[in-house]
Structure 1
Amino acid sequence: MNHGDTPETGRPEIPTRLLVHALVREDGTVDAGELYAVAGLLGMTDQQVRLCVKRLVTEGRFTREGRGRKAVLRAVADATGAVAPDAGHVRHAYRQDHGLAPWDGIWHLFAFAVPESRRTARDALRGTLLHLGAAPVQGGLYVSANPIAEPVEAQARHLGVLDTVTFLTSTDLRMGDTGDPRRLAAAMWPLEEIAARYEQLAAFATACARHLASGPRLSGAERLTLAVELAAEFTRAMEPDPLLPPELLPQPWPGSRARRLAQECWTALRALPAAHGTPTPLPRLFRLYSDAVTPPDGQ
């Protein structure tokens, strides 16, 4: 495969460290030969790879047996967190896509007044709310369309600021003279930016599926390269998505289409026969993503 045939527009830069984590196999090892081959297809230099491996070993994240391309890296702990999707987050997205998670019309609000002396805890609580998809309404007040009170409470308790947080729900949220739920969502979340990321994912997944259907058999390194790129594109689109219910989103919403195309591409990629008829162990990444994007039962 000519790697230049795969889509370039909007492709996120893949850090060398993330690539190493992405190639961890089920037995916790990384084949250095595969690592250098995939890195080369991604435009990384051998020097980049050598320096990255050296840092990971120095940090105690991996051990190394052998040298150069014949080396084997072994993860000291689970190294897939950097590339593994949040399976619960992804599954909820696919449930929404299949109409299995309709909105109940309830807004979940969180107000907090953490003193300046606890600024670190305040910033951590704010970061948790944003990570869970909540949006700021005004200073110290955040809102979510999804029921995230449990993890917010757990984090506030962990930070020792639970007594400063107020939890409430409402079916009658209004900002100024705007009370229409869809208009509120458009005002509080960057929907155009989120949609643009999904358009890039859809473009990459479409080109990837077309290439897999019509191109020659891929080498092992080429197959791994596409898998890493697809995972990176998927994460780039999904991580900032608050997963607003479809009732609050413009329709048609590009996220639904992009996730469907990514699932189809991932299924085709995993089903590829081994190059030259020689099977090689697949990275843990294949199982993690396949598990996460499995459609809901009966769909």
Structure 2
Amino acid sequence: MSSLTPLNHLIARFAQQVPIRASSLIVTLYGDAIEPHGGTVWLGSLIRLLEPMGINERLIRTSIFRLTKENWLTAEKVGRRSYYSLTGTGRRRFDKAFKRVYSATQPAWDGAWCLVLLTQLAAPLRKAVREELEWQGFGAVAPTVLASPRIERGDLNTTLADLGALDDTIVFETTAQDVLASRALRLQVKESWNIEELAAHYSEFIQLFRPLWQALRERESLDPEESFLARTLLIHEYRKLLLRDPQLPDELLPGDWEGRAARQLARNIYRLVCAPAEAWLNTVMETADGPLPEAGESFYRRFGGLR
């Protein structure tokens, strides 16, 4: 048990989930900690890292097997030990899922929109495209029309091609506007993206992690294992929020948008625990070649800079 009461609360909250989301936490661990250090780790290291979260060895092994079967991970045997790495497909999934988590700021918005019309798609494919694009931040402004103020056209075309819908989907892009957010547009955004529900989730995140931030700040020195556990749970919960967040421009959000405070809190905690957490990872994690490789330079650019 940790000496930090707020951290114990967060660990207990995670462990009491039914069912416990071990596979999801392993995804977080790979994206946050293992991928920056080369992407490969011994199974025994994973077990030692995750058992303090309330996940027993059997569940960890089962979850790793499931992620391997789903083509997230691939295994390599060296003697009696198994080492797990991201597959190429898994790495692309990680990049997509974690791209927004550590970004420093959003680019300025010029008022342009991307509109996707699904009218020419058969009903089952229309449903699949809508679900995938909503996951990527699109909102429904009409039953068969999706809109996004932020989308890379190349990413959109790749998604539509992967779903077999590229040739039968109509895509429009509007020009930049001087008036970025009229009253009518703000009301439409509120309807299409369910902003109030997302704000409630951000508020809950702040209530969960603010006590941890306060407790960490009071410490003269931070325990490496506690720092690792805090960092992992922080990113796990924050990542789940960002998967729901369409990352709308500030012009379309309320002035008291809770997402801003949540991001600042996540950034503050991460910067505080990063170094001791890295020390713990270097102690526990092993690759087939021995010690953990140093994290790449891109790791230290997270949240606008960790150094």
**What is the TM-score normalised by the length of structure 2?**
0.72
Task: Identify which of 135, 140, 150 aligns with 2:139.
Answer: 135
8 Å CA contact retained: 2:45, 2:284: no
Q: In the alignment, is residue 40 of structure 1 matched against residue 51 of structure 2?
A: yes
Which residue of structure 1 lines up, in the alignment, with residue 170 of structure 2? Answer: 165
Task: Identify which of 168, 181, 186 aligns with 1:182.
Answer: 186
8 Å CA contact retained: 2:231, 2:269: no
Q: 1:20 to 1:236 in 2, by over 3 A?
A: closer
Q: Matched residues in 2 for 1:275 and 1:107: separation?
A: 45
Which residue of structure 2 lines up, in the alignment, with residue 125 of structure 1? Answer: 129
Give the percent of matched residue pairs that are identical in Structure 1 and Structure 2: 23
Greater RCO (Cα-Cα under 8 Å, separation 6 or more): 1
Task: Identify which of 266, 272, 276 aligns with 2:276.
Answer: 272
Number of equivalenced pairs? 279
Q: 1:256 to 1:148 in 2, by over 3 A?
A: same
Task: Identify which of 228, 241, 244 aligns with 1:240.
Answer: 244
Q: Matched residues in 2 for 1:287 and 1:88: separation?
A: 16
8 Å CA contact retained: 1:149, 1:167: no
**Partner SS state of residue 104, structure 1:** coil
Q: 1:51 to 1:184 in 2, by over 3 A?
A: closer
Which residue of structure 2 lines up, in the alignment, with residue 2 of structure 1? Answer: 3
Q: Deviations over 1:215-235 (max 9, x none)?
A: 464243x33322221111110
Which has the larger displacement, 195-204 or 12-21? 12-21
Superposed CA RMSD in Å reads 3.9
Which residue of structure 1 lines up, in the alignment, with residue 223 of structure 2? Answer: 218
**TM-fit CA distance, 1:267:** 0.9
Q: 1:57 to 1:256 in 2, by over 3 A?
A: closer
Q: Matched residues in 1 for 2:157 and 2:192: separation?
A: 22
Which has the larger displacement, 155-164 or 130-139? 155-164
Which residue of structure 2 lines up, in the alignment, with residue 206 of structure 1? Answer: 210
8 Å CA contact retained: 1:63, 1:76: no
Q: Which amino acid aligns with 2:62?
A: L
8 Å CA contact retained: 2:139, 2:147: yes
Which has the larger displacement, 6-15 or 248-257? 6-15
**Partner SS state of residue 180, structure 1:** helix
**Partner SS state of residue 95, structure 1:** coil
Q: Matched residues in 2 for 1:45 and 1:226: separation?
A: 19
8 Å CA contact retained: 1:40, 1:46: yes
Q: Matched residues in 2 for 1:85 and 1:248: separation?
A: 24
8 Å CA contact retained: 2:119, 2:144: yes
Q: Matched residues in 1 for 2:268 and 2:296: separation?
A: 14
**TM-fit CA distance, 1:9:** 10
8 Å CA contact retained: 1:29, 1:72: no
Q: Which amino acid aligns with 1:134?
A: F
- Match runs of 1:50-65 below 5 Å: 50-55=61-66, 61-65=74-78
Consecutive unaligned residues in structure 2, runs of 5 or more: 286-291
Task: Identify which of 89, 109, 114 aligns with 1:108.
Answer: 114
Q: 1:148 to 1:61 in 2, by over 3 A?
A: same
Q: In the alignment, is residue 74 of structure 1 matched against residue 84 of structure 2?
A: yes
Q: Matched residues in 1 for 2:201 and 2:93: separation?
A: 19
Q: Matched residues in 1 for 2:303 and 2:47: separation?
A: 28
Consecutive unaligned residues in structure 1, runs of 5 or more: none
**What is the TM-score normalised by the length of structure 1?**
0.73
Q: Matched residues in 2 for 1:58 and 1:90: separation?
A: 26
